[in-house]
Amino acid sequence: GDSVTQMEGPVTLSEEAFLTINCTYTATGYPSLFWYVQYPGEGLQLLLKATKADDKGSNKGFEATYRKETTSFHLEKGSVQVSDSAVYFCALSSNTGKLIFGQGTTLQVKP
Amino acid sequence: EAQVTQNPRYLITVTGKKLTVTCSQNMNHEYMSWYRQDPGLGLRQIYYSMNVEVTDKGDVPEGYKVSRKEKRNFPLILESPSPNQTSLYFCASSTRTGMNIQYFGAGTRLSVL
């Protein structure tokens, strides 16, 4: 079945460091791909998405490119801030429309 | 303000004592869903509903019940809670055609002793 695998956390970075959170997927067909973010004490919210191969999703300085050849959707940000500390979930939309989430990666940014 | 509201936010209970977690959305969404979040396992879907009076099992439905009598409400019922249902629960909603963009409540942290 469809699945999403994220890199293990927690990831701890200093402010202004470069961030990469790896995400790979297994799916039949051509799913849409998403990154959701969960700030402390809050529910998940959509961060960015990409609906087809080579699409780049971007929002709030974060970017991710849909790579069909490597079945990946890695999240990147050039310069993280303390306010980016959160749990990040990679997800795909299956052919039934259902969202399938990875296990989440905790990011902690220190001043 | 568009939102999904869950209550309570925190709940401590004992094994076997029936409980209900409420979920309400004000966006007129057809689709609603319940997830549980556990360390290392991410979010797993418990139940979902495509519209009023239409509900279906997700990946981990055992020990849970839901109902969808009104479009805005989707309560999660634990008839006889057990310690393995200790978890963080999220309700989410979306349009029927936009199920991949879901709006989440703030979560309910449940501890079953």
Could you read off the pLDDT of A24-44 as tens digits, one per residue?
Answer: 999 988 899 999 999 998 889
Side chain identity, residue A53: A
Per-residue pLDDT tens over the stretch B1-24: 889 999 999 999 999 999 999 999
Query: Cβ separation of B42 and A89 shorter than 8 Å?
Result: yes
Contact map slice: B 89-108 vs A, CB within 8 A:
90, 92, 99-107
For position B99, what pLDDT does the model report? 66
Q: Which chain B residue lies closest to A32 (C-alpha atoms)? A: B100
Q: What is the average pLDDT score of chain A? A: 93
Give the C-alpha separation, A70 to B92, whole Å. 30
The set of residues, in sequence order, having a beta carbon less than 8 Å from that of A74 and lying 6+ positions away, is A20, A21, A22, A23, A64, A65, A67
What single-letter DSSP state applies at residue A84?
G
- Mean per-residue pLDDT for B46-66? 95
A91: closest CA of chain B, how far (Å): 9
For position A14, what pLDDT does the model report? 97
Per-residue pLDDT tens over the stretch B92-110: 999 877 667 889 999 999 9
